[in-house]
């Protein structure tokens, strides 16, 4: 009967693995950790790029099942209020179709970053109305930042944030310690 080969004992010293008999190991603990982290970060970036590409494929607004969505909304509303509202379903359909029409009209003018951030068909409750609200809010913030390139002194609290017309932050002025 063959005896199994004895396991080699290792000990960690100064960031590398050294066998008990003095032989240096292939990878140090730090290197292995950095390698694993970099692979996770790269994998995450690939997944995000694929999701963005899937979202903007064909360059059209994603199609939602409004019948299913509005039935679920009506059921949740009825359960919450304890009453039946027969007009809720039709109102939901009209509202969603109106929001969809506005998004289609503005689709070419909506910046790609807004599309990626706001138009998310895989979310638990995707809705044209919510997407339109998100796009409008981002547009409003950009407009306000163009009109007021520095922070408005609403209070004496810190920090003060300054931004560029495209919405990116230029600098942050921290509080002065007294």
Alpha carbon 158 to its chain centroid, in Å, reads: 27
Task: Report the alpha-carbon distance of residue 88 to residue 149 in Å, rounded.
Answer: 43
Once rounded to an integer, what is the mean pLDDT over residues 142-152? 77
The tokens for 177 are 């310690």
Residue 125's pLDDT band, with cuts at 50, 70 and 90, is: confident
Task: Report the alpha-carbon distance of residue 132 to residue 97 in Å, rounded.
Answer: 11
pLDDT at 29: 62
- Tens of pLDDT, residues 52-61: 444 444 578 9
pLDDT at 170: 83
| Sequence ranges of the domains in the chain | 8-55, 60-147, 149-178
Task: Report the alpha-carbon distance of residue 46 to residue 120 in Å, rounded.
Answer: 17
Higher pLDDT, 77 or 39: 77
DSSP state, 149? S
**The residue to which tokens 């609200």 are assigned:** 133
Report the residue count for the chain.
178
**Does pTM surpass 0.85?**
no
CA distances (Å), origin 100, targets 35, 40, 150: 45, 37, 35
Once rounded to an integer, what is the mean pLDDT over residues 136-156? 78
Buried b (16+ CB within 10 A) or exposed e, 8-34: eeeeeeeeebeeeeeeeeeebeeeeee
Q: State the chain's mean pLDDT as an integer.
A: 76
pLDDT at 50: 53
Q: Percentage of residues in the chain with pLDDT exceeding 70? A: 63
pLDDT at 41: 73
- Tens of pLDDT, residues 86-122: 888 999 999 999 999 999 999 999 999 999 889 988 8
Residue 127's pLDDT band, with cuts at 50, 70 and 90, is: very high
DSSP state, 6? P
Residue 123's pLDDT band, with cuts at 50, 70 and 90, is: confident
pLDDT at 95: 95
- Tens of pLDDT, residues 8-22: 555 454 444 554 555
């Amino acid at each position: 009967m063959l005896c199994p080969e004895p396991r080699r004992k290792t000990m960690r010293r100064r960031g590398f693995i050294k066998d008990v008999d003095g032989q240096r190991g292939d990878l140090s603990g730090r290197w292995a950790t950095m390698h694993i982290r970099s692979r996770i970060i790269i994998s995450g970036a690939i997944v995000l790029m694929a999701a963005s590409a899937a979202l903007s494929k064909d360059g059209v607004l994603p199609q939602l099942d409004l019948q299913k969505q509005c039935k679920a909304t009506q059921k949740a509303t009825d359960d919450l209020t304890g009453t039946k509202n027969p007009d809720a379903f039709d109102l939901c359909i009209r509202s969603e179709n109106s929001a969809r029409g506005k998004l289609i009209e503005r689709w070419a003018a909506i910046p790609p970053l807004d599309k990626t951030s706001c138009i998310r068909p895989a979310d638990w409750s995707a809705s044209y109305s919510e997407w339109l609200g998100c796009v409008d809010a981002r547009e409003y913030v950009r407009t306000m930042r163009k009109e007021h390139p520095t922070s408005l002194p609403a209070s004496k609290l810190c920090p003060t944030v300054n931004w560029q017309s495209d919405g990116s932050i230029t600098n942050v002025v921290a509080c002065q310690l007294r």
